[in-house]
Amino acid sequence: MAQLRQDYQKFVMLDAEIIVAGPEKAEAFREYWAKEDLPFVGLPDPEHLVLKLYGQEVKLFKLGRLPAQMLIDKSGKVRFVHYGHSMSDIPENQEIISLIETLMS
């Protein structure tokens, strides 16, 4: 999430919002967001409703949910999906920013 924080203003300038959904409960999210001073939205999803809706995978041998990144337009249409195989397997911010710019043109 540090990567997202670094470029958050670039996303805002493109009229995009970052929403991070995770399996933790609301209190854990509040504490983490406050501690890390994250500028974007954290969505606690302890019952995995949102995460299942978008097909995020669970791998027991990887100790839980694998990372997933999605770009969803304002009409709710999913424009890009990346399901990672590990926490190091996520697209760079610039890749997502370039996709947003392409969709805007």
Residue type, 59: K
Pairing relationship of beta strands 19-22 and 41-44 according to DSSP bridges: parallel
Question: What pLDDT is recorded for position 46?
Answer: 87
Over residues 3-60, the pLDDT tens digits come to 889 999 999 999 999 999 888 899 998 999 999 999 999 999 888 888 888 877 665 5
pTM of the model: 0.81
CATH class of 2-104: alpha beta
- Is the pLDDT at 61 greater than 70? The verdict is no
Q: Where are the domains of the chain?
A: 2-104
| Higher-scoring residue by pLDDT: 86, 96 | 96
